[in-house]
């Protein structure tokens, strides 16, 4: 009897097995290479941040990425996804004006692999 019940349950369609819709949010992944790129170019202590928007020192990139997963991506001409997210608090300074900014951008491949991220729009 148990075998019949188990076979029946295994034959039922599973919601997890359903194909993901095109609108489903990708899980953003930050590789060591991408993190190094962001820290060198968009943090105050970075060696390549001259003239660029910079995050506040100590900003938790993984926390920002988790919040950005909820933002709707916009496909750019180069095929990458751009997410602009409002952090609700100052996350950095604009590279041109030096003014504080509460938004940040995450650029990622369609599969969720982060290319770069920076404060601003």
DSSP string covering 71-93, please?
SPPEE-TTS-EEEEEE-SS--EE
Query: pLDDT confidence of 25, banded at 50, 70, 90?
Result: low
Top-confidence residue, 23 or 51? 51
Q: Return the pLDDT at 26.
A: 73
- Summarised one tens digit per residue, pLDDT across range 61-96 is 999 999 999 999 999 999 999 999 999 999 999 999
Delimit the domains of the chain by residue range.
26-119
**Spatial CA neighbour of 56 closest among 86, 87, 91:** 91
What's the burial of 63, exposed, middle or buried (CB within 10 Å: 0-12/13-18/19+)? exposed
Q: pTM of the entire structure?
A: 0.77
């Amino acid at each position: 009897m148990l075998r019949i019940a188990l076979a029946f349950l295994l034959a039922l369609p599973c919601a997890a097995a359903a194909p993901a819709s095109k609108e489903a949010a990708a899980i953003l992944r930050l590789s060591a290479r991408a993190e190094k790129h962001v820290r060198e170019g968009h943090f105050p202590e970075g060696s390549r941040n001259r003239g660029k928007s910079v995050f506040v020192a100590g900003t938790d990139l993984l926390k920002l990425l988790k919040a950005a997963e909820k933002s709707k991506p916009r496909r750019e001409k180069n095929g990458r996804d751009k997410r602009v997210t409002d952090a609700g608090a100052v996350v950095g300074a604009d590279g041109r004006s030096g003014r504080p900014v509460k938004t940040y951008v995450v650029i990622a491949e369609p599969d969720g692999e982060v290319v770069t991220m920076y404060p601003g729009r």
